[in-house]
């Protein structure tokens, strides 16, 4: 095995995994660990926006920010850095854009089988292992009230469709993609720029999601509402009434004590958004990168 760059070694340390040769089982371990370690969150995006840093962090920055601030990111940040780690470990793959906006990963053999596998750490979906979506079989993944599926698209020959569900209902319009339409981060400059427009979805709310498989649950914070979902399908929703309540929930329940949620709430308030009084309007729930008005998110 080749020597890893320092950032990749620190990345593995954060995942609590050893450096191994590429294999399907190792990729599964990496996927499962990543979804539990790095949250899907927009706190970092709000801070980047305020600082004028309208770009995806480098893998080095991503690991540093995770260590010091418990950042993760949304689909572009999480999947770009994860792909960089996978490449450093000897896997071969590229980004794809299901639906034209959500960033996911396809990893190719020879270490993962004869067909590409779908990997995604940025859709808040229970994709705890790579999916051989080109092969026959059931490609659904379920965890409590959350589920997703990868099937052939009924609308576009040779395309595949990612559909995400909550409580058995489609959570957003499905995303189609062609497996040969691969991307690099440099190809995504326009969608990244759009994700930092002032009216972009994740610049106008507070959102944090984390899987906690050791507790058989996921936890979601949406503005001032904390949602626990368990593998048996039961759910618990708790309103939070102060910023201190939010800080305590993020630190104690989500185990992210360094995440600067108070600063994120202050940034939102400066932008005229009070998460405690914001009207409850219908919106795409905690999913990947696309919002109802088709803005794309980092």
Number of Cβ atoms within 10 Å of the Cβ of 127: 22
Residues 55 and 116 in one domain: yes
User: Tens digits of per-residue pLDDT, 47-78?
Assistant: 999 999 999 999 999 999 999 999 999 999 99
Q: Answer yes or no: do 135 and 68 share one domain.
A: yes
- CATH number of the domain encompassing residue 243: 3.30.2140.10
Check whether 278 has a pLDDT greater than 70: no
pLDDT tens digits, residue range 209-228? 999 999 999 999 999 999 99
* Any domain includes 94: yes
**29, 153: one domain:** yes
Q: Is the pLDDT of residue 207 over 70?
A: yes
Report the distance separating Cα 268 and Cα 46, nearest Å. 8
Name 75's Cβ contacts closer than 8 Å, sequence gap at least 6. 102, 103, 104, 120, 122, 123, 288, 289, 297, 298
Q: Which helix (H) or strand (E) holds 210?
A: strand 207-212
Q: Say if residue 176 is in the same domain as residue 197.
A: no
Query: Is 292 a member of any domain?
Result: no
pLDDT at 172: 82
Task: Pick the closest to residue 93 from 77, 78, 76, 109 (CA basis).
Answer: 109
Q: What is the CATH number of the domain that holds 67?
A: 3.30.2140.20
pTM: 0.93
Give the list of residues 6+ apart from residue 117 with CB closer than 8 angstroms, or none: 24, 27, 106, 107, 130, 131, 132, 133
Q: How far apart are CA 261 and CA 259, in angstroms?
A: 6
Which residue reads 């305020």 in tokens? 50
Domain count, the chain: 2
């Amino acid at each position: 095995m080749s020597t890893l760059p320092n950032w990749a070694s620190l990345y593995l340390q954060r995942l609590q995994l050893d450096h191994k040769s590429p294999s399907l089982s190792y990729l599964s371990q990496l996927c499962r660990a990543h979804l539990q370690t790095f949250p899907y969150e927009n706190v970092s995006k709000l801070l980047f926006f305020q600082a004028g840093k309208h770009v995806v962090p480098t893998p080095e920055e991503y690991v540093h920010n995770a260590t010091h601030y418990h950042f993760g990111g949304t689909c572009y940040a999480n999947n770009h850095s994860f792909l960089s780690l996978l490449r450093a470990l000897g896997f071969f793959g590229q980004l794809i854009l299901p639906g034209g906006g959500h960033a996911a990963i396809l990893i190719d053999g020879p270490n993962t089988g004869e067909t590409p596998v779908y990997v995604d750490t940025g859709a808040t979906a229970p994709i705890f292992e790579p999916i051989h979506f080109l092969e026959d079989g059931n490609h659904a993944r379920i965890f409590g009230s959350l589920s997703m599926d990868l099937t052939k698209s009924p609308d576009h020959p040779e395309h595949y469709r990612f559909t995400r569900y909550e409580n058995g209902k489609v959570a957003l319009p499905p995303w189609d993609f062609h497996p040969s339409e691969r991307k690099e981060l440099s190809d995504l400059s326009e969608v990244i720029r759009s994700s930092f427009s002032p009216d972009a979805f994740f610049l106008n709310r507070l959102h944090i999601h984390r899987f906690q498989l050791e507790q058989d649950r996921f936890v979601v914070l949406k503005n001032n509402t904390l949602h626990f979902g368990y593998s048996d399908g039961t759910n618990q929703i708790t309103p939070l009434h102060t910023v201190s309540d939010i800080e305590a929930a993020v630190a104690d329940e989500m185990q992210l004590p360094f995440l600067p949620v108070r600063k994120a709430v202050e940034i939102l308030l400066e932008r005229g958004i009070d998460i405690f009084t914001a009207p409850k309007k219908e919106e795409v729930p905690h999913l990947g990168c696309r919002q109802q008005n088709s803005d794309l998110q980092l």
